[in-house]
Amino acid sequence: MPNIKSAKKRVLVAQARNARNKANKSALKTALKKFEVAAAEGNRTEAESAYTVAVKSVDKAVAKGILHKNNAAHKKSAMTLKLNSIG
């Protein structure tokens, strides 16, 4: 444990950011899994609604620095191809 006051604050700030990033990553993974399940079932309407939520969460993850923009583009492209193959 740090002795210096500023170092103690950095530890607390790091813990808060870690918790926030973990929650955001978890929400992203949940949205992606919901789309995958809907796509696997072959339910077009459910997959479309899950797709919009998943794309929005991927874009939010990029804005928050959780995902790289190229990784996000790859994920969105894969989801779009999967959605188009359902119909």
The domains of the chain are located at 5-86
Q: Shortest CA distance to 40 belongs to which of 81, 86, 78?
A: 86
pLDDT of residue 50: 96
Residue 37: pLDDT band with limits 50, 70, 90: very high
pLDDT of residue 52: 97
- Proportion of the chain above pLDDT 70, given as a percent: 100
Amino acid present at 26: S
Q: For 5-31, write each residue's pLDDT tens digit.
A: 999 999 999 999 999 999 999 999 999
Q: Do residues 67 and 61 lie in contact, with contact meaning Cβ atoms separated by under 8 Å?
A: yes
In this predicted structure, the answer to whether residue 87 has a pLDDT above a threshold of 80 is no
Q: Does domain 5-86 have CATH number 1.20.58.110?
A: yes
